[in-house]
Amino acid sequence: MQSMLQAQPWHAQDAPPALNALTQSVFEWINDKNYSRGFDFASTAARTQSGDCTEHAALLAAISRATGRPARIVLGVLMIGAEQQQAYGHAWNEVWDQDGWHVLDATMPESMRSPESIYYLPLGVLENETAAYTLSYLNILERFPSEIDWHR
């Protein structure tokens, strides 16, 4: 993970990077976006530069913490669409700065988002990111809805 951090343009700055710079860095670093990985640790995601939303979230949490910001991985449902609604199981981050917790999604940096058509439905925070994460993950999976009805 150190090589990933050192490769970032903001790495040598005295001030912590902006939140959107962290998100963009992870989005660009994971250049093989696929579902073939399990739920890799941040160090593995940084080394393989591969994965889906869970690897993006693990790596973003790790680099946020490495730059001095508390971060957590949130599992839930991503709902997209104004006209054609879709919902997906998803992982994203909440990162703390002086203004409070901010939702960050390294699979879809702010420059790619249309905020009026994206909704995050959190179902739980991954409490344990060690090898025992499975118990926390399974507790959150039990909360996933089997159906979502879009009413506004």
Predicted confidence (pLDDT) per residue in 51-110, tens digit: 999 999 999 999 999 999 999 999 999 988 767 778 888 999 999 998 899 999 999 877
| E-only strand ranges, the chain | 32-33, 50-51, 71-80, 86-97, 100-104, 118-125
3-state secondary structure at position 63:
helix
The band of 132, judged by pLDDT with boundaries at 50, 70 and 90, is low
Region 114-118: mean pLDDT is 73
Q: Give the count of domains, the chain.
A: 1
CATH code at 6?
Answer: 3.10.620.30
Is 100 strand, coil or helix?
strand
pLDDT reported for residue 113:
67
Whole-number pLDDT of residue 82 = 66
55 falls within a domain: yes
65 versus 116: the higher-pLDDT residue is 65
3-class SS shares of the chain: helix, strand, coil, % to 5:
35, 25, 40
Structural domain boundaries, residue 9? 2-141
pTM of the model: 0.84
Q: Is residue 149 part of a domain?
A: no
